[in-house]
Structure formats: structure tokens, C-alpha cells
Structure 1
């Protein structure tokens, strides 16, 4: 994500680019049809920030499939620019991109517009994948993407100050007494008016038993449950357990505050674990970092899902080769590369039961629990519009410009209007 289109999102197609990026644009190996649907093909996705993709994924595939090599077309680092490039390619009905790495929030839009092809679930190891990750790859109950990287939010906390992490919001706010004694701030997430606020607001609503949209696609955000979730955030700013300055926080702002020792609890993505625990860097909390699933209203909260799915272009001429590649990136061999990313999460369930991996990456058990309870963001074709409405109205509530009830009523009206267009 890019961590789900936020910096987090920067950690799920930016970092997930870890799992599949490092290439060059230029020629179009996917062009020129092959009767059996096999041949060289292209993969379009964001930048590779670690270089692991080329050496550990693409080169391995290409050695084994000399007649079906994959060439990576490296797109800009910005998620919005990646989406724009993909949309332009699809609108031109071009076969330049055979496969695309879709942020999980693009799957519905690309599927609804017929740009990516419906997939045969039997051709992929879907039964072995995290159910929550698979849910992000579906549109109207049908599979349109191959999950290859996931991301779930975690609660980072000072285990030297808190012996047991909170499992509910009530427990978290009670622990804020510890922060007060230590003259530090208590809790922060991502509350600036950008995609991160959509993520945090969705988590609060879902963690209180509400939802932005119901299973039938109808707007359900104006509910007592949603109000309870947003009130947890609104009250945080009003009562002080969320510091006023956090109204400007994105992922990196919160990470820096936590690493400086200024914050007791932080909602963020798995990448924070490695940075906060690396001695000799700018962290003051190395060895003192605990990790737990997000707390909720009455128990474990519902993280928002990040990650990426591979989509098969409807205009590709080498679809069989792409389908085989999709199965490859969902294999244990490749998914272990994703674990070592420290930004994204693997989608293969068996890796979360690997004791050796859990010892190497202590956050895995908490991340697994987070992903089991995770929910997708609104799976609607006009997601960008929906997200902007959520950001605008919830931000007004956090700033005290509107009551929670009024903000949710106005948000519901705007979402319904968007659907009717």
C-alpha cells in the first residue's frame, strides 16, 4: 500500500510493489496474439521500493517460463497516477497491460466497467487464502482479482508501560491515565482529511457494529452503531485522549510521534514495527513496542483492509499465461517474500501458522487476528466519490463543526445522491 491508499496506501501499491515491481516500460510483450492465449505478457503496477520483486519473483518466473516471460511496466509511485494510467489504457482497449496490480478499492470499479475479466476461482488457490483478502477481489459475488498482498491495521503500544493491550475502547481510554502520568499523548491514528480518514472512520463505524453500506449495497451509515463509532473519535478530540494536533496526522506523523516516545497507543500499519524496533535509527522505543489487534466497542475491532489484487485485462491476448502467473504469486514460495516486506501481509493462511515465521516476525499473530476481523472499504464502483464524501463529513465532525448525527445524516444523503447519478 501502499498501505491502503494512504501512506498506508503508500504501503500497499507502493510497497506491495515490493512483491511485483522493478521493470521497465517500453516494448509490449503482451501484444501480438497467440491462439492458445500463451506468450510473454506485461504487468503494470507501482514502483518497487525494495527491489525484492525482480530477484525473488519476476526473475524466478522468467527462468521457469522462458516463452512466457513477464515484463513489468513500472507506473508512478502515486496511487492516483497509477489508477489514471490503468484507466487510460483500458479506455483505449489496449493490450499493453496484460495484468494490473489493483489497489483493493479499484476492483469494483474495474469489474463494473468490464475492464478486468471475471476469474475462475477453481483455477486459483482461493480456498487457501484469507477470506477477508478474497472478499476484496469480488464484485457482486464474482471473483475479478487474484489477491496477492493484504494489509491490516494494528494497535502499537508501549509494552513497558502497559502490561496488557486494550481490547475495547473503554479499556483504551482507561489506560490513558498511564499516558497522563508519563506526560505523553494517549492515542492517535490518521485523521487528516485524506484517504486515511476514510480508513479510520470506516474502522470506527465497523468496530461499533455499523457499516457505511449494507450487504445489499444500500447506504446504512446514518445509524446508531455508526454514530457510536464516530463518537469514539469525536470524543477523543473533545476529551483529550486524542491530541488536537492529530487532526493533521497521516501515517508518518503518527509513526514519528510514537517513535519519539510521545504517544502511548498508535493505530497504524505493520511497517511501523520494523522501524520502531530498529536500534540506532530515530526511534526511542526499540524493544518497548507491543502489537495487538485494534480494540472496538465491545471487543476486537474491525480493521480496514488494504492490499492489492492482480486483475486480468479484458484486452489481453495471453490470458492463460497471466492466470498461471496469478497462481504463482499466491504460492507459498512467493507469499513468504511478502512476509519479509514488513509493509504488506501475505494472503496465504498457512503462513500465519508457521511458528518459525512468527518468531522472526512477532507481529504476525496479531496481524492474523486483525485480518480475520477486517472489512473492505465500501465496494462501490464510484469509490473515489464515496471516499471524498466520507472524508469531508467526518472531518467536520472531528473539528466540531457539525455534530456526529448531522455529519452522518449529511453523509448518507450525499452517498445516496452519488448512487443516483
Structure 2
């Protein structure tokens, strides 16, 4: 058995000096310059990542530890909720603690963590990235330098009941028409993740992009929500709650809530990440949709939607005393054999293009071809060194409208102002 510790162990005295934007509404100082390239130190390391009930992460770590008895890896659990994981890591880094050597970080945190000097630049010579897909690889870069390596990637997808729908909707209008099928079967029509947390920011960004708009400009310096396209994206969500396309219960859904609702037979359509496919396809207690699950591109305003490019990266702490070992472990985790385990045991999407063309894997996981296409069209989430503040701004402005307070026009106006203010605090 390996030692396990929860993120709460990183609080206490550290919390007294931490100023975490997601929790306290403030922005940590970005005055610390990013460290220069050049990793040093070998020895045992600690890997902070989410709990994994599949046992796949344990398998990977045990394989490493068997081959590296003098540089063993200890796992330290972080919350599976993005906001809480961000808080725990920020507190650890602000304390300049060497407790964490390698951290699993949300891809949208890379600019913030790099700008604050919390994670080390990873030289090209330290980790071979030649086989990693370009889109995920880009999420680990900041100011033209690499600060994180993608471990697994994600793109939003549409799950649907194949026993009730023969052809998945390609547009929002088609989705709404199909809701008649849901009503006839006394189930909800469509859901995503609409609770007030990072997932809501993702769903709003995705809807805006699927209407041809964006939340911020390409440089991440200017809010771009004052457009007809952005309004159409927000209006789709707001009106879908009002007309029943999205059931009212979905206002509380995070990823797992929505997955369980779909697998319990309560939804016709679900927007979620690729990890859901394995779980929803496997017969078992509490799963009423096994053998009845299809996966398709998200619908958009006038055609296929623009899924959000998600995923989690591997970063090396600037305060680690064993950074060279950390880099070797990161390279180990993104090698083909370990990426296969990531897919087959954890149900996560690999970052190596070759695995999406592997005949054996495609036969076992027929959704890989569709996922590869989704990744080709996926749009990165808004890039900002103040992601926590930006995300909170989107959540606060959009959530009220989804609850029925105000119009889509009101929500877009508030979003433009709130995101502008968040970007000013970078």
C-alpha cells in the first residue's frame, strides 16, 4: 500500500499566507520571474495527482518504482475538483514548499503558474515531445517556452441514447427538435456542467465558440463578448433552461453529477469529456445505458460545434530538489506504453497521435477516430495568467442568467465587464 494524503494537509499555516484568487477573490503577485531553464537534482519525488479508483496510476507508479529503486515516486492526492486542486497547489507553491515535485495541473493554469515562477521551464532536452499532438502540446507553453507537458487531453463531446435516437443532432435546432423524444420517454433532454465552478466557464466558452464567438482575444488580453456571436452562444444556454431543453436540475451538475444522471437513464443527450464513454459502456449496477451509448461531435449554431480543448498537464515545481528525476518521470508518463495504460485503465485520452491510429486500440475503443477529429477542431479555453479570476467572472455573470435572473443580453453585458476587469488584474 502506498501512502495517501489529502489536499487538506497542505492548508493550515500555509493558508494564512496564501492569497488564492479562486477562493479569496484576489490575485497572487506575479512579480516573481519564471525560473531560467536548467533542471537539477536527483532522488525520490512526490507526484500530486487526483485519486484514481481504477488503479491505473498505481500501476504506472509501481512500474517506475521497480525500475528506479533509488528514485521512487510517492503519490499525493489532490482534489478531483479543479477549483479545489488549484487552491491546494497555489498554497503549496506560495509557501515555496518542496513537498510536491511533479504536479498534475489543469491546462488552463499553465500561464498563471509559469508567470508566478511556481513551475520550472522544461528544456527541450529534458523531455522528448516529438510524438505529442500539437494542440495539447500548445497548452503547456507560455511566452514561447515550455512549462508543462500534456499528460492527457480532452475535448467536449455529445453522448446520446442510440436506442432512442438514430442520428445525433448536428445543430442546436436539431437538438431542440429531438427533445420531443425525451419528453415522450419522460426523461430530460440535454445537460452539461452548469454548477457555479470551472465547468460552467468551460460550457459557456464552448457555447460561445460554437456560435462563432470567443471569450477573449487570441492574446488573452481583451474581452470579446460584445459580439452577436457571443450573444447567440449565451442565449442558447439561457433559453434552453427556460424552455426545458436543459432540465432545471442541471444547474447543480458538475462532470460526475451529469455522468451519473445520463447513466441512470435520466437524459437523452449529455455534453461531457471522453472519460465517460468507458464508464457508460460498461454494464454494471447503476448503469442503465450500457450498450445504448453513442458519441458524436457537439452541435453548434449552424453546424458542428467547437468543443473546448481541455486536459491536464504535468509540471515540475520550481521548488523541487529533484527536478532531473521529475523530468525523467514526466517523460516516462508520456511514453507510448504508459499512454496506453492511461487509455485502457483510466479511460483518459492519450496525447500521442499514433495511438489514435492503432488498429488494436481503435477496435477496442471505436470512439477514438471521432475523438481525434474533435481534437482537431477543439478551441483552447481562454488563456490568462489570472485564470481563477477570469473563470470566477464568467461563473458569476452566467450563473444568474441560467437561473432565470435577467436576459441573455444582460448576461453578455455583465460578462464583458467582468472579464475585462479580470484581465486587468493579470
Q: Report TM bin, short chain.
A: 0.7 to 0.9
- Provide the secondary structure at the position in 2 that maps to 1:264: strand
1:352 to partner: Cα distance: 0.9
**2:91 paired with 1:62:** no
Following superposition of structure 1 onto structure 2, how do residues 77-226 of structure 1 map, counting pairs within 5 Å? 77-121=80-124, 123-217=126-220, 218-226=222-230
* Secondary structure at the counterpart of residue 126 of structure 1: coil
Task: Assess, with a 3 A threshold, how the Cα gap between structure 1 residues 251 and 115 changes in structure 2: closer, same or farther.
Answer: closer
Query: Is 1:306 equivalent to 2:310 in the alignment?
Result: yes
Distance between the aligned counterparts of 1:191 and 1:155, measured in 2?
A: 15
Structure 2 residues not aligned, in runs of 5+:
7-38
TM-aligned CA distance change 1:165 to 1:294, over 3 Å: same
Cα distance in 2, alignment partners of residues 113 and 36 from structure 1: 20
Residue 307 of structure 1, CA deviation: 2.3
Q: Which moved more, 1:130-139 or 1:112-121?
A: 130-139
Measured in 2, the distance between the counterparts of 1:341 and 1:366 equals 20
The reply on whether 1:414 has 2:418 as its aligned counterpart is yes
Structure 1 residue 148, shift from structure 2 partner = 0.7
Equivalent runs, 1:14-413 vs 2, <5 Å: 23-24=3-4, 37-55=41-59, 57-121=60-124, 123-217=126-220, 218-413=222-417
CA contact 1:22–1:74 (8 Å) conserved in 2? no
Whole-angstrom distance in 1 between the partners of 2:167 and 2:103 = 42
Q: Is the 8 A contact 1:109 1:381 kept in 2?
A: yes
- Runs of 5+ in structure 1 lacking a partner? 1-20, 27-34
3-state SS of paired residue (1:119): coil
What SS does the aligned partner of 1:326 have? helix
Q: Secondary structure at the match of 2:130?
A: helix
Distance 2:270 2:62 in 1: 38
Cα contact 1:135–1:376 (8 A) shared by 2: no
Give the TM-score taking structure 2 as reference length: 0.84
For the residues of structure 2 that align with 1:37 and 1:256, how far apart are their CA atoms? 44
- Using a 3 Å threshold, how does the CA distance of structure 1 residues 283 and 239 change in structure 2: closer, same or farther? same
SS at match of 2:109: helix
Question: How many angstroms does 1:315 deviate by?
Answer: 2.3
User: Cα distance, 1:116 vs. partner?
Assistant: 0.8
Q: CA deviation at 1:113?
A: 0.1
For residues 89-134 of structure 1, what are the alpha-carbon distances to aligned partners after superposition, in whole Å with 9 as ceiling and x for unaligned? 3223333322222122321211010111122245434332222211
**Structural RMSD (CA):** 2.5
- Cα distance between partner residues in 2 of 1:48 and 1:23: 14
Distance 1:92 1:252 in 2: 32
| Distance change (3 Å), C-alpha of 1:226 and 1:354 | same
- Alignment deviations for residues 317-343 of structure 1 (CA, whole Å, 9 cap, x no partner): 332222222211111011001112454
Which position in structure 2 is the counterpart of 1:18?
none
Closer, same or farther in 2 for the Cα pair 1:342/1:365, shift >3 Å?
Answer: farther
Query: Using the alignment, how far apart are the partners of 1:104 and 1:182 within structure 2?
Result: 39
Query: TM-score, with normalisation over the residues of structure 1?
Result: 0.85
In structure 2, do the counterparts of structure 1 residues 77 and 255 end up closer, same or farther at CA, with 3 Å as the change threshold? closer
CA contact (8 A) 2:102 2:314 kept: yes
Check the 8 A contact 2:83/2:197 in 1, yes or no: no
